[in-house]
Chains A and B, each alone.
Chain A
Amino acid sequence: MKTNWKQITFLAAAIGFGACMFAANADATDWGKYQVGEHRSGYTYMTDESRAMQNDNFQNPGMLWVEQGAELWAKVDGKAGKSCASCHGESGDSMKGVAARYPVYDQNLGKLQDLEQQINYCLETRMETKPYKWESDEMLSMTTFVSYQSLGMPVNVKVDGPAAAAFEKGKAFYYERRGQLDMACKHCHEDNAGGIIRANTLTQGQGNGFPTYRLKWQKVGSLQRRFRGCNNEVRAKPYPYGSEEYTNLELYVKWRGQGLPIEAPSVRN
């Protein structure tokens, strides 16, 4: 039998190449759009079951809030006799990209506005009705509906110019130890992301999935609810919803996930 060296060499090379590919895969899963450089969406830390739930609109419980939000969008309320749709159009298409760029610095108001604050601004000044309470069903439905219009769009917040001061304050908050446990955001979400604390996997704490349907909450919740939860866990006084401190932190945390896709409503453990 004649040895076919050409074939053997090719086979050996193929096996070697395959082994290299396998090794590379073992080191790092390709998370596709859910990873930008070092930054990974919370999606990449969840269980397969949670991811499957998020991926399928019929299974994703957060879609209930999107539907409720769509109804509210069209509902006339207040002295001005308007609904959101009166100014922004029936479909909500005009909201495409909004969740990706919020919070934004509002020149007229001279402050950083997150989505909740902007919604309440519209309710009070344009519709001339009562603002929604933070974390109420109405507010969560509206923020989830509006955010859903940006599904898949990369986070793209502006942190320079007039937003720079808020951004720097948010960053300082992120690195400041607090509470009896004396921990900063970074101790869990930067130094130990991917690690297990009790039964939970720590994520990088990105904001791109909010409002998120959290299985532990059994409902949709805002990023600021998550901040309050974290602060309580380290036995630190939380700030009120809509406070300047948390709004600045929202901007900073959103920026950390710059380029990650908006996943609202995401599903998290």
Chain B
Amino acid sequence: MPKLTILVSAAAAVLLLAGSVSADGLVKYKVADNAIQQSLTGKAGDAAEGEKTFTNRKLGNCLACHQVTALAREPFHGEIGPSLDGVAGRYSEAQLRMQVVNAKVINPDTIMPAFYRTDGLHRVLDNFKDKPMLTPEQVEDVVAYLKTLK
């Protein structure tokens, strides 16, 4: 019995450290004014890692739709999304985080996928079921990278 108590409190402590988790297993976050003020991980992301996630076709794949002049070395930037040049000057960090986590909060009709969401989706392939497109760390890294696009 004491063993179990220790286990339970250890698990609770981990949860507290990581921030609270919602029923779908994702980190909870608070939306205010179409923005998320708090980092999903509780700390700042890594911009260099974020650039990798941003360009990786199996992760962010952001260049499928957006253009970034600083990434001209990467082939085939899409054109259906706006250019992200100077995006850090147009939006706050909290607004960028909202846009990456779930852009539909801002524009319900947008084509842009929500990169940190698993609820309310329809017929997701088994490989991707109940998994967000990015981890909280990857979201924060991408936000950190976007902040470099001044």
Contacts and interface: CB of A to CB of B under 8 A. Distances in A.
Nearest to A236: B123
Given A182-B114, A187-B111, A195 B80 contact: yes
A232 interface: yes
B86 interface: no
A264 interface: no
Interface stretch (B4-12, B33-41, B125-133): B125-133
B50 to A, nearest CB: 20
A177 B65 CA distance: 18
Contacts of A140: none
Interface residues of B, number: 22
Contacts of B24: none
B4 to A, nearest CB: 37
Interface string B70-113: 00000110111000000000000000000000001000000101
Interface in A224-250: 231-232, 235-237
A195 B66 CA distance: 11
B65 A183 contact: no
A220 B133 CA distance: 33
A176 B121 CA distance: 10
Interface in A164-199: 176-183, 187-188, 191-192, 195-199
A187 to B, nearest CB: 4
Nearest to A177: B122
A182 B78 contact: no
Contacts of A231: 123
Given A180-B113, A180-B133, A181-B113, A235 B80 contact: no
B68 interface: no
Given A180-B133, A195-B80, A198-B76, A236 B124 contact: yes
B64 interface: yes
Contact of A198 (B64, B113, B122, B126): B64
Contacts of A183: 111, 113
Given A182-B113, A183-B111, A195 B126 contact: no
B124 A179 contact: yes
A179 B76 contact: no
Contacts of B79: 195-197
Given A195-B79, A197-B80, A236-B122, A180 B111 contact: no
B111 A192 contact: yes
A6 B80 CA distance: 51
Contacts of A196: 78-80
A202 interface: yes
A197 to B, nearest CB: 5
Contacts of B127: 235
A237 B128 CA distance: 10
Given A180-B113, A187-B111, A192-B111, A237 B80 contact: no
B122 A235 contact: no
A187 B76 CA distance: 20
B78 A180 contact: no
Contacts of A202: 80
B3 to A, nearest CB: 39
A239 to B, nearest CB: 9
15 contacts: A180-B121, A180-B124, A180-B128, A181-B133, A183-B111, A192-B111, A196-B78, A196-B79, A232-B125, A235-B128, A236-B123, A236-B124, A237-B123, A237-B124, A237-B125
Interface of B: 63-65, 75-76, 78-80, 104, 111, 113-114, 121-128, 131, 133
Interface of A: 176-183, 187-188, 191-192, 195-199, 202, 231-232, 235-237
